Structure formats: structure tokens, C-alpha cells
Chains A and B, each alone.
Chain A
Amino acid sequence: QAGLTQPPSVSKGLRQTATLTCTGNSNNVGNQGAAWLQQHQGHPPKLLSYRNNDRPSGISERFSASRSGNTASLTITGLQPEDEADYYCSAWDSSLSVYVFGTGTKVSVL
């Protein structure tokens, strides 16, 4: 199934702000919204946000999500060393009735 497009990597300094993007189409991101997942090396993914900007209990307010048209964004403010991870977006595609994932963005904190 066609995936969602994410930049391969983003590098920012400690305590800076990183913005990650995720581009889909009107059947997935533009329709159902996107969720964001964080994955540290050797660990399973962890849900950071869903329905564009709802955060599960326990997720830091430093992570905020938004959507404009077919593009979703995740903003990480006050970057910390523990934010170094791979970030994936995901969305339900209502046309194909499948979950689609983004290609993933590796965040490095300098």
C-alpha cells in the first residue's frame, strides 16, 4: 500500500524546536487525520498523538501535532537528548481500508 511521505532526518540543537512533516492524500491524512509514533532503537513504537492533536495520558506537552490539508505536522519543543528517536506518522486510508505508515524521520539532538 502507498505510504505517507516524511523527511528522512531532522537535526536540531538541545532545547530547540523541531517540526516534522507527514504528507498523504485526501483519503488518509486529509480525511482521517494522522497519529504520531515515537520509536527508540530496539523498542516498540509509542503513540504520541492521535486525531491530529490529542495526546494519550502521560505524553509530554512538548509534543504537539497539527494538520493542514493533506499534511500533518509534529512539533517537538525544548528538545531533550531522550527525544532522539525515529518518528512515524500513521493514518487510516478510508479508500483502501488500510492503515498506512509514514517512511519515518530520524530526529537527532545535537
Chain B
Amino acid sequence: QVQLVQSGSELKKPGASVKVSCKASGYTFTRYGMNWVRQAPGQGLEWLGWINTKTGNPTYAQGFTGRFVFSLDTSVSTAYLQISSLKAEDTAVYYCARDKIGLDYWGQGTLVTVSS
């Protein structure tokens, strides 16, 4: 069965960096794009962008260029989200989501807390 398993919660100080992983199983990783979505506490869903898992080409939503970087390790079917220069407002649950028929499978989410 399709599964997306994300890395565990992170507590970081402002200005630090974090790298979230999303390991896929149950399907051919390079067949479908991988999206990243975040949800701040008590808020709705916000699309960060997606990465083409066949070519490695990332696309970032407006407002998520520069500090946000998507990457892949196709040898282990894993997508990564790295956020640098963390700010308090980056505190959120970050999800990866496969894009086959829309965003059909989601990871369990990774809580990133930015606090001094």
C-alpha cells in the first residue's frame, strides 16, 4: 500500500535550519510529483510547491523562494524539504503529498516549532 512517512517533530531556534524527510513506499517514486503543504496552528492549508521526482526540478509557490528548498534522493525514494533562516512564523505542521489524481496520499506531517 502507498505510504508517505515523514521525519519526526523538530524544535529549532530562530535563524537555524531544518530538513524534513518524506519516505515513499508502495509505488514507483519517480512516477508522480511530490508536493509540500504547511498548516500553521489553527490555520488552513498552504501550498509551498512541488518537485518533479523524475527530473528533480522544483517549483516554489510565491513567498517560498529562497529559504525553502526541495530535494530528492531517488535511491531511497525520499523527498526533502529544507528551510533555512527559520522564523517564528514558520512554526507549522509540514506535509508531503503525492500528486497522482490530485493530492491523493499525504504524509503524517512533521511539526516544526521555531522558538527561542
Point out residues on A near B: beta carbons under 8 Å.
1, 3, 35, 37, 44-47, 50-51, 54, 56, 88, 90, 97-104
Contacts and interface: CB of A to CB of B under 8 A. Distances in A.
B45 A51 contact: no
A103 B97 CA distance: 19
Interface string B81-114: 0000000000000010100011111111100000
A45 B45 contact: yes
**Which 10 A-B residue pairs are closest in the complex by CB-CB distance?**
A35-B102, A50-B102, A44-B106, A99-B47, A101-B45, A104-B44, A50-B101, A47-B104, A44-B109, A98-B61
Contacts of A97: 59
Interface hub of B37, B44, B46, B109 (most chain A Cβ within 10 A): B44
Contacts of B109: 44
Interface residues of B, number: 21
Contact of A98 (B47, B95, B104, B108): B47
Contact of B62 (A1, A37, A45): A1
A99 B97 CA distance: 12
Interface in B2-27: none
B103 A35 contact: yes
20 contacts: A1-B47, A3-B44, A37-B45, A44-B95, A44-B106, A44-B107, A45-B97, A47-B102, A47-B103, A50-B104, A51-B102, A97-B59, A98-B61, A98-B62, A99-B47, A99-B61, A99-B103, A100-B47, A101-B37, A102-B44
B53 interface: no
Interface in B34-63: 35, 37, 44-47, 50, 59, 61-62
